[in-house]
Structure formats: C-alpha cells, structure tokens
Amino acid sequence: MTTDAHVDPGTEARRRTEADPLSRYAREYATDVIHLNGNSLGPPRASLTGELDRVVSGQWARKHVRAWFEDGWLDLPRTIGDKLSPLLGAHPGQVVVAGETTSTTLFNALVAACRLRPDRALLLVEAGAFPTDLYIADSVARLLDRELLISQGFDDDLRERGPEVAAALTAPVDFRTGERRDIAATTAACHAAGAISVWDLSHAAGVLPLDLAAARVDLAIGCGYKYLGGGPGAPAFLYVPDRLQSLVDFPLTGWHGHARPFEMGPTFDPATGIDRGRTGTPPLLSLIALDHALDPLLDVGIHELRRRSLDLGEYFLECLAYRRPELLRGLASPRDPERRGGHLALRVPDAEAVESALLERGVLVDARPPDLVRIAFAPLYVTHEQVWRATGALSDSVEGLR
C-alpha cells in the first residue's frame, strides 16, 4: 500500500471510511451485500417503503383519480426531470421522465434525430454500444429507410462520412470497460459534420458530472435504475435543449405529449417545451421511487459523488495490488481514473464462476461472460472498508477456482 507501511491495512480501510464524510450515507441503504453492482441495479434506500406507503395509503387510497391533479402526480415527469437536471448539466425544463423504458425512450429520440436530418442517409452507432442501442438503431434505420453504420472507429467514420450522417449515437461511458468518451468533443465533431448527436447516458448519470447544455448536446436519454437508484425498471429520462424543443417530431405521439391532453381532441398537437417528450399515463409508483432515490444524490452533488467514486475505485486497485497484484494484469479499463466512469472491468478466466464465488462471500459484482467482471463504485453505499474486504474476497475466489 502507498500508505504508511506500519499501519495494518484493515485499520487503514477503517480510517479512510471514517475520514470521508460521505460514508454516513451507507447506513441509509438497504443491502446485506457489499454492493459493487450499482451500474446495473442500485439498492433501495431503507426509507423507500415508508415513502411508497405514504403515496399508496395517503394519496392513491384516499383521493383516487383526483390524486393525479391534487398531489402533483401529473407534473412528476417534469418535476423529476428538473430535479435530475443538476446531475446532467441541464437547465430546468430540458429533462422529462415520461415513464418509458430506456429502450423506448431511445427509439423516440433516434427517430426524432433522424427526422431532423431528412436528407441524410446514415445513422451512426458505435459497435461497442449496449445491445439494446444496436437493436433499436437497426429498427430505426429500417423504419426510416436509412443506412445503419455500426462503427468500429467512430471518430474516423464521422470524419470520413460526416456529410452523410443524420444522427450519431454514442455513450460517455463504455458499458463493458468503463472507458469514457468526451461529450463536448464528440458533440462538436457531430456538429461540424452537420449531424445530430444523441447520447445514451445510462452508465454515467449519477456518478459522472455531465455538461449537456454547455456541450450543446442535441438529444440524450438514460436509465433511471442504475446509479440513479430508481428501482427495478425505473423509467428513463429524456433531454432536449430549448433550441430543439419546438423542432423535434417524436414518433410516440401519446396524449400526455399533447398541448392540451384533457381536451381529448381528435388530432395530435404537440406540447411546447419538454412536455412534448411525454407519451401516456406514467408508472406513478416507479416515478415516486425514482424521485425518492434522487434526494441523497442531490444532497451530495455530482462533483462530490464523482470524487468519492474515483477514490473508491483507486483504493480498490491499490488494495488489489497489495493482495494479488497479478489480477491487475487483467484490468480491461483505462488505468487513468479520469478516463473511467464509475466502474472498472477485470478479465478473469471464468467471469461467471468468479461472480458466484464472490456472491458466496457476500460481494455483488456483475459478470459479462466469458471473461469480464465489472465492479462499480457507487459513491453512497460503498465504503472503503467494504472495498478492502471485497478485494480479499476476490483474491480468495480466484484462489479457490484455480
């Protein structure tokens, strides 16, 4: 360890835990494992059941359909969007949580992006994109009669074929390796080519500071259940900057995206502003859970969240170097922490075997077969002591599988 050689590493882990003011948040979360899987599904806050009971018993059971109007339910897609904005570097009125999955939200955004460039043939997506992004992009290209380019070298393809590109879909964090892509630079390259930039923020939101407005991003979407902690199947968010809000033509034209939904007229007249991104009646209880999950993240602020996540990740590598340095040869993520998102990936001989051996030891990680184990450093429910113990469990697991 780089710290004082005379200090016992377990004591040092405890010292670091006590020294970081964010460690106190760990008590708020209900999890009986060392939870290093926050890039997949974050754990609930212990207070969530009380919050849901407040809404179910106090609002739904008592006011019934009136609660949509009297308890702010109808506005929640936008109020949660505004609440999320500081985490995304967006301004109020630019983010909505319509109640859709990440996949449907991406579909909505990609079609709208292509419709903004009707005269261009290409839809560009990175080959390493999350599978659903590839599938949705493929469907959008077929639907709109465009050509899909699944790019092995995104920056080169954008440079060479830029004038043909209608929309380019990228992510600020590679879901496998955690490697970052610079939002401002990539968006600027898209704009230089005249293309619409679409971002999938699923692996970044809530752990990495984003600067959507400053970077002049065109459209962005992301998951609610990963680092944001909104719960299983939490709805996704959609970002549209002011300058595009009156121009985007979404394919999902549900009545909640109408300018006057309760007139119930026969033709669709899109709402002005971010409400245009809404679709139908949203899953209210899931919105409540997402709203509740955001409070501690906003309390702490995205820069502090990032600081701690980086610190935990670096400490993990330090502990691993102490316990079993040969495992570091399998690091599949950039060694420079600034070039990583909230997780890192290690190559091991059998990822699924390591995942289950770790779970037997109380440590939750995520296997990407055949050989990748992903380890996420969500800042509010992972502590330095847990990281120290997790590296011990990892070392034992690998030893046990030999």
Cβ of residue 222: shortest distance to ligand PLP, in angstroms?
8
Burial of 14 (C-beta count, 10 Å sphere; 0-12/13-18/19+): middle
List helix spans (H) across 194-339: 242-245, 284-300, 302-323
Under the binding rule (CB under 6 A), the answer on residue 195 touching ligand PLP is no
Selected catalytic residue, list 25, 225, 227, 316: 225
Measured from the CB atom, the residue of 157 and 200 that comes closer to ligand PLP is 200
For the segment 202-221, give every residue that binds ligand PLP (CB under 6 A): 202-203
Per DSSP, the three-state class of 363 is: strand
Beta bridge partners, 219, equal 198
Beta bridge partners, 148, equal 123
# of chain residues touching ligand PLP (CB under 6 A): 12
Catalytic residue at 133? no
Residues 189 and 216: beta-carbon distance below 8 Å: no
- Beta-strand (E) ranges in 25-89? 34-35
Cβ of residue 50: shortest distance to ligand PLP, in angstroms?
26
Selected catalytic residue, list 45, 78, 117, 226: 226
Residues 346 and 332: beta-carbon distance below 8 Å: yes
Query: What Rg, from alpha-carbon coordinates, does the chain have?
Result: 22
Catalytic residue at 260? no
Catalytic residue at 374? yes
Provide the terminal-to-terminal Cα distance of the chain, rounded to the nearest Å. 25
* Identified binder of ligand PLP from the candidate list 25, 154, 175, 237, rule CB under 6 A: 175
Catalytic residue at 200? yes
Measured from the CB atom, the residue of 130 and 250 that comes closer to ligand PLP is 130
In 3D, which of 103, 117, 176, 184 has the Cα closest to residue 147?
Answer: 117
Secondary structure of 16-42 as H, E, C letters: HHHHCHHHHHHHHECCCCEECCCCCCC
Measured from the CB atom, the residue of 67 and 205 that comes closer to ligand PLP is 205
Of 54-62, 159-167, 197-205, 327-335: span binding ligand PLP (CB under 6 A): 197-205
Catalytic residue at 381? no
Under the binding rule (CB under 6 A), the answer on residue 103 touching ligand PLP is yes
In 3D, which of 335, 336, 378 has the Cα closest to residue 207?
Answer: 378
Of 96-104, 322-330, 359-367, 380-388: span binding ligand PLP (CB under 6 A): 96-104
Under the binding rule (CB under 6 A), the answer on residue 102 touching ligand PLP is yes
CA-CA distance, 307 to 342, in Å (whole number)? 10
Under the binding rule (CB under 6 A), the answer on residue 130 touching ligand PLP is yes
Selected catalytic residue, list 25, 107, 130, 239: 130
Cβ of residue 173: shortest distance to ligand PLP, in angstroms?
8
* Identified binder of ligand PLP from the candidate list 101, 139, 253, 356, rule CB under 6 A: 101
What residue type is 45 in one-letter code? R
Catalytic (active-site) positions = 130, 200, 225-226, 374
Using CB under 6 A as the criterion, which residues of the chain lie in contact with ligand PLP when the complex forms?
A: 101-103, 130, 132-133, 171, 175, 200, 202-203, 223
